Structure 1
């Protein structure tokens, strides 16, 4: 089968959260028996070690709806490279990708990711015109790519060419539905998905919910665990879409996330100073000392080391952790290491705790792609107090390295 995955991020090129890893691991696994292609933006932060080849030069991506008078287009290129048996295509645009220092959190994210979807379809049209590779199925990931579902189903330019291609939408987190927090809008102001998407620069485009439309128009929708699939049918977890999800539950399923155990392998991981396995677990203790030194803590093998590695956000429960940490540190002989970045108020609280308990807590408040593995290889417990957690990749990684995850019952 020929599978096209469209995603806002994919490891190792643009690695922000768990989405990038899941897409890469899944694509790599499926490539063992299928033809898999990944389509993603070429962000300015991507500094490839592998050679990129220009696949398509100066493709004009229309920014208006087919049949309207809005004729402005955006000029893009399509580059490609192969990593881990997976051929990846990159949509290049100076204004919306190349000149941005981050992947997310821009006021025009709705434009940037609409461009990704439509740029992908324009690339597919060029592919078809030269009788080149075409997908048997299109696999979309999260709201950033759900614009593509409506373009194929409702936009005449793409409908007549791609309508028969089935669309799978994987939702990794229903809390993220677009640039706006649609779930907090009054019901009479929420998008119902009936009016077609406006052109890229229309002031009302940001108010149109791409995730809702993806759910309505995809042939199948799946989430990253069976439990989360049941949770999103409730008001507590449905994020305002529970009514739609209940109506369309016949095309909804959950498939548990996974990790690449060949890549996450303490026996061969080059990041670790001391490699180990289940056959020689005593060696793991040496990584505990390495971790304590990394975070500026006294090397004490006899006490428990707790760890948190992830986004510093309300969803991840970091506020709860910060609330209980003073009691834990004052009353128990433990150490705590924290790696993450996010809400600056959490940064400040954690820095104050580190100053108050310099021998008990160490913090690294910046992104680091290698440090999590050192944490999982050296910590005794990994704390995951998430308010909700659709899939729980971090818990899987921690267990792979021999750390015990302490989690909230969710996801």
Structure 2
């Protein structure tokens, strides 16, 4: 099948979160299944610089955007054979900062126009109106930045099938009513069953309401977003469309995340030969200026410092362990200034027990996965999560809250699962510092039982969350949708 896969970020061209990893790995897996897939993403300056050789293949002027002709740049996603299209519209995308925010951390005021233009381009590519000798059978859109594309395509009788994937429902692309008017959309779309959402315009609601099928990134998250507690006001619509909603678990790119061949870590190791992991732990301790205490468990956390990720729970729960010398902690991430400040104070208070890197560093993320003994993910909600799956492959036992994809990928080391031999981590339920502290205590008790810990680590490393299964699920969905049209 011919598939157009649209995303606002794709690793290694541009990355702010897991969306970028998925938007690289899933298309590559679909390509290996011999589907004719093309990627499309905005041509941010950093993306153009990292994309390698690019060729201008045409210019498109889109309805509603006469002053912003889009030049299509064609290439190949680095490290793959997946064809890549970058949408070069300088006024919209040639800016410093990340794809959505200026250097001061505030959202670009014209994000509705920037991603409205991107959606128009997706529509034109889907309908064969962009000057390419190619038209897709399926258009696969991802998160709010592409949410208007299924809306625009819904207005055409002869069109490809559309899939819209929710990676995180809490980011909705909400704008004032004036944004709807500025995008020159049909007035009949402004109603409570369309793009209107409590007086605002919602890009993500457009994708949910008008795509032929909706997916999200784990089975449990698909159930959770249909509840009032986690539906972000869209649970009614999601329940209405429940027959067209599927949870497909994200996968892991084991070419990038495998300790036996990872070039970013101090020493390679495998399930059969774990000797290199001790060197990775010593390397991580040295990097953060922590004493090289091999018998003390080293906890790791990589992620955005936001309440969703439960970083506040971690910083509260771990302090008694740091003050007593019972564990060390390294944290890599940035986000909420208040949480960053709390983390800095904790690192200053316990310089021999805690290391902190404010910001994101891909190399350091790999070193944490390889060097830590325990990876802590106390997320209040987690659509899928990738780090817990990376941790399993690296033999770094995940301690996770039982939610979303964390619940789907980590088996709790309770007495029953330890006895049956299928435990892979430690899970807890309540989003409180005490519940996390109790889970960490269980993990540390297991750590101090070397034979049992070794069995737990080996079982974790045996788990397979490769993209092949997920890609097959998406390919099957595509076939059903194309047959249905």
For 1:367, the equivalent position in structure 2 comes to 360
Secondary structure at 2:362's aligned position in 1? coil
Task: Go from structure 1 to structure 2 and tell me whether the alpha carbon gap of 1:209 and 1:131 turns closer, same or farther (over 3 Å shift).
Answer: closer
Alpha-carbon RMSD: 2.3
Assess if the C-alpha contact under 8 Å between 1:45 and 1:102 holds in 2: no
For 1:172, the equivalent position in structure 2 comes to 167
For 1:211, the equivalent position in structure 2 comes to 204
Bigger shift: residues 116-125 or 251-260? 116-125
For 1:149, the equivalent position in structure 2 comes to 150
Distance in 1 (CA, whole Å) between partners of 2:214 and 2:71 is: 30
For 1:201, the equivalent position in structure 2 comes to none
Task: Go from structure 1 to structure 2 and tell me whether the alpha carbon gap of 1:340 and 1:130 turns closer, same or farther (over 3 Å shift).
Answer: closer
1:76 to 2:77 alignment:
no
Task: Go from structure 1 to structure 2 and tell me whether the alpha carbon gap of 1:179 and 1:368 turns closer, same or farther (over 3 Å shift).
Answer: farther
Distance in 2 (CA, whole Å) between partners of 1:113 and 1:357 is: 44
For 1:45, the equivalent position in structure 2 comes to 46
Task: Go from structure 1 to structure 2 and tell me whether the alpha carbon gap of 1:290 and 1:54 turns closer, same or farther (over 3 Å shift).
Answer: same
Deviation at 1:371, TM superposition (A): 1.0
For 1:400, the equivalent position in structure 2 comes to 393
Assess if the C-alpha contact under 8 Å between 1:62 and 1:73 holds in 2: no
- For residues 4-403 of structure 1, what are the structure 2 equivalents within 5 Å? 4-32=4-32, 33-46=34-47, 47-48=49-50, 50-57=52-59, 59-63=60-64, 72-83=66-77, 84-105=80-101, 106-124=108-126, 127-128=128-129, 132-154=133-155, 159=156, 163-179=158-174, 195-196=188-189, 207-403=200-396
Any stretches of 5+ residues in structure 1 without a counterpart?
A: 65-71, 183-192, 199-203
Deviation at 1:80, TM superposition (A): 1.6
Deviation at 1:274, TM superposition (A): 0.6
Distance in 2 (CA, whole Å) between partners of 1:78 and 1:175 is: 31
Give CA-to-partner distance per residue, 1:41-64, whole Å, 9 cap, x none: 11122222511111223x222227
Distance in 1 (CA, whole Å) between partners of 2:353 and 2:263 is: 28
Distance in 1 (CA, whole Å) between partners of 2:357 and 2:55 is: 37
Distance in 2 (CA, whole Å) between partners of 1:122 and 1:128 is: 5
Secondary structure at 1:221's aligned position in 2? strand
Give CA-to-partner distance per residue, 1:297-327, whole Å, 9 cap, x none: 1111111000110011111111211222322
Assess if the C-alpha contact under 8 Å between 2:4 and 2:126 holds in 1: no
Task: Go from structure 1 to structure 2 and tell me whether the alpha carbon gap of 1:131 and 1:92 turns closer, same or farther (over 3 Å shift).
Answer: closer
Deviation at 1:117, TM superposition (A): 0.9
Distance in 2 (CA, whole Å) between partners of 1:382 and 1:313 is: 17
Assess if the C-alpha contact under 8 Å between 1:62 and 1:74 holds in 2: no
Distance in 1 (CA, whole Å) between partners of 2:320 and 2:130 is: 66
Distance in 1 (CA, whole Å) between partners of 2:138 and 2:89 is: 26
Secondary structure at 1:327's aligned position in 2? helix
For 2:438, the equivalent position in structure 1 comes to none
Q: Name whichever structure is richer in helix by fraction.
A: 2
Bigger shift: residues 304-313 or 364-373? 364-373
Task: Go from structure 1 to structure 2 and tell me whether the alpha carbon gap of 1:347 and 1:305 turns closer, same or farther (over 3 Å shift).
Answer: same
Distance in 1 (CA, whole Å) between partners of 2:26 and 2:19 is: 11
Give CA-to-partner distance per residue, 1:202-227, whole Å, 9 cap, x none: xx9x9211111211111100111111
Task: Go from structure 1 to structure 2 and tell me whether the alpha carbon gap of 1:24 and 1:176 turns closer, same or farther (over 3 Å shift).
Answer: same
Distance in 2 (CA, whole Å) between partners of 1:329 and 1:263 is: 32
> TM-score, normalised to structure 1's length?
0.88
Distance in 1 (CA, whole Å) between partners of 2:329 and 2:309 is: 17
